[in-house]
């Protein structure tokens, strides 16, 4: 009898049991935390109420923010455990532990700034600056670990996709259970890739990351009692970046793959938030608007407001379509080439978005793509800076609107006519 086989079976059983225990513990912790937050909705005062209750400003169901707080705390604890014990238990490269520890500081920063944004609604520039700091810190820490020979390239890739995924996940957090169902597909994508490349750490962490979503579902299903808030969408985006980093490193170490192949496999699961952000920017620019201005023409808003679907139906259909696109992308990646899988996913996502939104996206004020028009679009307008030394006098004149006067005269004459009659 071969003893090595028995030892391998015992080792596999150990990490599965260990991962299952962490998943159950994370689920119970998040479930209890959400129940506690939900109890704050029934209070009217007190220290805990002031600390944890934040009304969702745009909610029509008296829901509250802060759903991302238990999720963030739960996943940070998972990263600490895997960083401390995962390398030895899963027999993986020690760089895995390094990646986990590098994610803890950015994750903590997201939790802190997300709390203040949910509570006080920070300015967009503050949010963008904080996200930039978070992503830069993670990219600086992780780039040398991912690929030491090309750390500068790794830094640029992680920074670019980090900002895109974090903001894209926030844009997808617009309806009850939408983030849960779409994120579930993304995590399952990592599970399949972890199994295919025999990287148990990626498989285990992706499965455990689903546990907070299952706990959150009971409080976010329509009509929602709790929303994720700024912490939730941003932190899920960071967790996808961490899984992408682990997958990238695991493929290189375990299979001696090239950087290009490993990078493509690692970036494919990030396609949805990147597509959401890119299409939103292009849609606004085509209509002559700032790419950073908000609107209600995301696909989930169109399905909800114009197609009159329920929030639950929108979330389910979008998740199923995304699942089908993911399966096709995986097939192309394994049977053809990872580049084929990436192209297939991007084209299919773009096609699905265009099919739903083409009727509502293009208004009358489309952007002319001539060189002159583009120059006028990007140039700052209606702003003139004058030195105080050249200004002798400054006056403000209030000019009456003749249209208002005419309108008032018409109303007065109508009232007089009525009285006479």
Angle, vertex CA 183, rays to CA 182 and CA 188, nearest 5: 105
Interval 404-417 mean pLDDT: 46
Q: Which residues, listed in sequence order, are joined to residue 64 by a DSSP beta bridge?
A: 55, 226
Q: Please report where in the chains the tokens 């820490």 appear, as a residue.
A: 141
Q: Please report where in the chains the tokens 């705390």 appear, as a residue.
A: 73
DSSP type of residue 64: B
Mean pLDDT of the chain: 83
User: What 3-state class would DSSP assign to 102?
Assistant: helix
With a cut of 50, say whether residue 3 has pLDDT above it.
Answer: no
With a cut of 50, say whether residue 417 has pLDDT above it.
Answer: no
Instruction: Supply the pTM of this predicted model.
Output: 0.83
* Confidence class for position 1, pLDDT limits 50, 70, 90: very low
- Residue among 39, 105, 119, 38 at smallest CA distance from 72: 105
DSSP 170-213: HHT--STTHHHHHHHHHHHHHHHHHHHTT-HHHHHHHHHHHHHH
Tokens of 417: 């006519």
User: pLDDT tens for residues 189-219?
Assistant: 999 999 999 888 999 999 999 999 999 999 9
Angle, vertex CA 45, rays to CA 40 and CA 46, nearest 5: 90
Tell me how far apart the alpha carbons of residues 125 and 147 are, in angstroms, rounded to a whole number.
Answer: 32
- Residue among 46, 110, 340 at smallest CA distance from 241: 110
Q: Where are the domains of the chain?
A: 11-270
Interval 251-270 mean pLDDT: 85
User: pLDDT tens for residues 363-410?
Assistant: 655 544 455 554 554 554 554 444 544 455 555 555 454 444 444 444
Q: With the C-alpha atoms ordered 15, 21, 24, 26, is the resulting torsion angle positive or negative?
A: negative
- Answer yes or no: are the C-beta atoms of 157 and 266 closer than 8 Å: no
Angle, vertex CA 242, rays to CA 239 and CA 182, nearest 5: 40
User: What 3-state class would DSSP assign to 226?
Assistant: strand
pLDDT of residue 421: 41
Cα dihedral 321/327/329/334 (nearest 10) = 180
Q: With the C-alpha atoms ordered 331, 335, 340, 341, is the resulting torsion angle positive or negative?
A: positive
Angle, vertex CA 204, rays to CA 202 and CA 210, nearest 5: 105
Q: Which residues, listed in sequence order, are joined to residue 226 by a DSSP beta bridge?
A: 64
Interval 413-420 mean pLDDT: 45
Interval 126-145 mean pLDDT: 90
Cα dihedral 154/155/160/163 (nearest 10) = 130
Q: With the C-alpha atoms ordered 365, 367, 373, 378, is the resulting torsion angle positive or negative?
A: positive
* Confidence class for position 124, pLDDT limits 50, 70, 90: confident
Tell me how far apart the alpha carbons of residues 300 and 178 are, in angstroms, rounded to a whole number.
Answer: 9
Tokens of 211: 């546990």
Tell me how far apart the alpha carbons of residues 243 and 227 are, in angstroms, rounded to a whole number.
Answer: 24
Q: How many residues does the chain have?
A: 421
- Residue among 271, 287, 241 at smallest CA distance from 347: 271
With a cut of 80, say whether residue 179 has pLDDT above it.
Answer: yes
Q: What is the largest CA-CA distance in the chain?
A: 114
Percent of the chain with pLDDT over 70: 80
Instruction: Please state the φ and ψ torsions of residue 115, each to the nearest 5 degrees.
Output: -60, -50
């Amino acid at each position: 009898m071969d003893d090595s086989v028995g030892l391998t079976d015992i080792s596999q059983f150990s990490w599965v049991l260990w991962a299952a225990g962490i998943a159950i513990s994370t689920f119970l912790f998040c479930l209890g935390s959400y129940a506690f937050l939900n109890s704050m909705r029934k209070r009217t005062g007190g220290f805990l109420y002031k600390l944890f209750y934040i009304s969702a400003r745009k909610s029509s169901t008296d829901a509250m923010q802060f759903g991302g707080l238990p999720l963030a705390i739960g996943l940070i604890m998972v990263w600490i455990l895997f960083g401390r014990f995962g390398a030895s238990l899963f027999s993986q490269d020690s760089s895995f532990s390094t990646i986990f520890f590098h994610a803890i500081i950015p994750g903590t920063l997201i939790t802190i700034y997300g709390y203040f944004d949910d509570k006080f609604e920070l300015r967009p520039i503050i949010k963008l600056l904080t996200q930039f700091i978070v992503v830069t810190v993670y990219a600086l820490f992780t780039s040398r670990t991912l690929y030491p020979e090309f750390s500068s390239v790794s830094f640029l890739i992680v920074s670019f996709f980090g900002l895109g995924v974090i903001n894209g996940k926030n844009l997808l957090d617009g309806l009850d259970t939408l983030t849960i169902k779409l994120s579930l597909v993304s995590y399952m994508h990592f599970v399949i890739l972890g199994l295919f490349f025999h990287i148990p750490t990626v498989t285990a962490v992706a499965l455990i990351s689903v546990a907070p979503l299952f706990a959150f579902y009971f409080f976010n299903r329509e009509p929602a009692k709790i929303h994720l808030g700024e912490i939730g969408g941003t932190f899920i985006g960071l967790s996808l970046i961490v899984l992408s980093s682990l997958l990238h490193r695991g493929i290189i170490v375990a299979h001696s793959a090239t950087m290009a192949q490993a990078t493509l496999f690692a970036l494919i699961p990030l396609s949805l938030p990147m597509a959401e952000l890119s299409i939103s920017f292009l849609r606004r620019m085509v209509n002559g608007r700032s790419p950073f201005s908000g609107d209600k023409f995301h696909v989930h808003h169109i399905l909800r407001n114009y197609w009159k679907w329920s929030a639950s139906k929108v979330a389910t259909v979008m998740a199923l379509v995304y699942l089908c696109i993911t399966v096709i992308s995986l097939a192309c990646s394994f049977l053809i080439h990872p580049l084929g899988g990436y192209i297939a996913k991007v084209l299919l996502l773009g096609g699905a978005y265009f099919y739903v939104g083409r009727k509502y996206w293009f208004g009358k004020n489309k952007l002319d793509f001539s060189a002159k028009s583009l120059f006028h679009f990007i140039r700052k307008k209606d702003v003139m800076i004058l030195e105080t030394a050249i200004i002798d006098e400054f006056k403000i004149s209030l000019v009456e609107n003749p249209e208002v006067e005419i309108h008032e005269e018409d109303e007065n004459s109508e009232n007089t006519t009525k009285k006479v009659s």
